[in-house]
Amino acid sequence: MGFKPDFISELPAPFQGPAGDLFEAGRDYAEEFLKRRLGIGQPELFEPHSGPTKYIDPHILAARKEQLLYIRHVASKKHIGFFAMLTNFSNNYTMNWNEEQVYGRPDPIVGYSNTRRSLTIGFKLVAADLREAKYNYNKTLGRGGMERVSLTNMFYPTYKEINRYKTIASPPILAIKHMQLIQSYGEAVDGGYLIGYVGSSTITPKFDQGGYEDLENGNFMYPKIIDISLNFNVLHDYDLGWKASTGFLAELFPELGSGEDIGRILGGRHGGAVGAALGAIGGGSADDIINNVVYDDNEIPNDGVAAGDARSGGILGVLAGVGIDAVLGNK
């Protein structure tokens, strides 16, 4: 529920709703305007050198094309973009089943539990000079600057203080995106970010590949290459699988699906995405009309019983029932 000032509740009742909506719209506009002007919510990116450079830095080119690996700490809204050279990337799916062994039966009785998805991501951060090396180190193993925007800091929760005692406010839920390779189709986080949590991570500075000294600001050494691996467990914010095809058409033609399915396929072939959407609406409406004609009000089609099953009479039972009702004039 959004914040609303007290003066809105003092208005006459008919005006409270429109005034509240107008206030929320204005507040949202002001918030977005300030975020754009102040750069709040934008990912921390490596800034190029001022003036001309002697070579084309692929880091900068990738940033301009939004081809970085973006990681966001959902609770704190801290956001970072890495020029990641992928060395390992895999999607792992685990289907969990509950198996029960029964005496005299060779196969177990199985019950489906859930399907889990995790990502294994391995990448290198390679620095072309001292400035990039300092950035890569500070945004991974380091503190992360004034705003503490670093990858390792994102592995920790947000805290709040109650009577000078720290307690966890939000867990370290992360959102990541890397072009089309890592993305979400949901809207929990703007920009198509995939939401989840890191089960484990390994960050290894590769000093055997060389490094850069920074003696002006202290006795510091920064590696040219940092190896990073993440085990990311996905928490989907969009629907998975399929909606069951139900209704008279789905039972009559089980390999074709429902009227909505048929309409979507036909509409998509002739009109693309728009045609598919319109076809699904039309097919679903046709399905509803047919179901109302064929089935009684208290009869549920495809109620967990396969077509032809003796418990439901299957298609033959439905057709026979329709025929008998027509002959006898039953309603």
pLDDT band at 315 (very low <50, low <70, confident <90, very high): very low
Q: Is residue 243 part of a domain?
A: no
| Domain edge (last residue) among 234, 265, 296 | 234
Q: 2 pLDDT band (50/70/90 cuts)?
A: low
> Is residue 10, in this structure, part of any structural domain at all?
no
pLDDT class of 316 with cuts at 50, 70, 90: very low
Task: Tell whether 53 and 185 lie within a shared domain.
Answer: yes
Asked whether residue 2 is domain-assigned, the answer is: no
Domain boundary among 191, 211, 234: 234
Residue with tokens 């406010």: 169
pLDDT band at 9 (very low <50, low <70, confident <90, very high): confident
Same domain, 166 and 300: no
Residues in a beta bridge with 89: 121
Same domain (yes/no): 147, 285:
no
Most confident of the ranges 131-135, 217-221, 225-229: 225-229
In this predicted structure, the answer to whether residue 275 has a pLDDT above a threshold of 60 is yes
Pair (227, 254) in one structural domain = no
Cα 201-204-207 angle, rounded to 5 deg: 175
Q: Does residue 245 or residue 141 have the better pLDDT? A: 141
Statement: residue 329 has pLDDT above 70: no
pTM higher than the cut 0.75: no
CA dihedral (175, 178, 184, 190) in degrees, to 10, reads: 60
Q: Binning pLDDT at 50, 70 and 90, where does residue 55 land?
A: low
C-alpha 130/C-alpha 76 separation (Å) is 29
Summarize pLDDT for 135-181 with one digit per residue, the tens.
999 999 998 888 889 999 999 999 998 888 889 999 999 999 999 99
For 249-272, the pLDDT digits (tens) are 888 888 888 888 888 889 998 888
Would 60 be classed as within a structural domain?
Answer: yes
Q: Does a structural domain hold residue 240? A: no
The average pLDDT across 280-299 equals 82
What is the average pLDDT across 2-10? Answer: 72
User: Looking at residue 314, what is its pLDDT?
Assistant: 44
Kindly state whether residues 205 and 315 are assigned to the same domain: no
Q: Is the pLDDT of residue 289 over 80?
A: yes
At residue 92, the pLDDT reads 96
Number of domains in the chain: 2
Mean per-residue pLDDT, 215-238:
92
The set of residues, in sequence order, having a beta carbon less than 8 Å from that of 9 and lying 6+ positions away, is 16
For residues 206-225, average pLDDT: 90
Q: Which residues pair with 160 in a beta bridge?
A: 167
- Same domain as 177, residue 263: no
Q: What is the CA radius of gyration of the chain?
A: 29
What 3-state class would DSSP assign to 100? Answer: strand
The answer on 95 and 165 residing in a single domain is yes
Average pLDDT over the chain, rounded to an integer: 83
Assess whether 162 and 188 both reside in one domain. Answer: yes
Q: Based on the domain organization, do 219 and 256 belong to the same domain?
A: no
Q: Which domain holds residue 290?
A: 248-328
User: Are 171 and 269 found together in one domain?
Assistant: no
- Each residue's pLDDT tens digit, 22-47: 888 888 778 777 777 776 677 888 87
The one-letter code for the residue type at 164 is R
- Chain-centroid distance of CA 173 in Å reads 12
Band (pLDDT 50/70/90 cuts) for residue 125 is very high
Residue 160 sits in the same domain as residue 278: no
Q: Is residue 256 part of a domain?
A: yes
Q: What is the pLDDT of residue 216?
A: 83
Q: Identify the domain boundary among 204, 234, 264.
A: 234
Is it the case that residue 82 has pLDDT exceeding 90?
yes
- Residue with the larger pLDDT of the pair 86 and 25: 86
Q: Are 279 and 165 in a shared domain?
A: no
- Residues 6 or more apart in contact with residue 166 via CB below 8 angstroms: 159, 160
CATH of the domain at 174: 2.40.30.200
* Mean local confidence (pLDDT), 225-247: 91
Task: Return phi, psi of residue 307, to 5°.
Answer: -60, 135
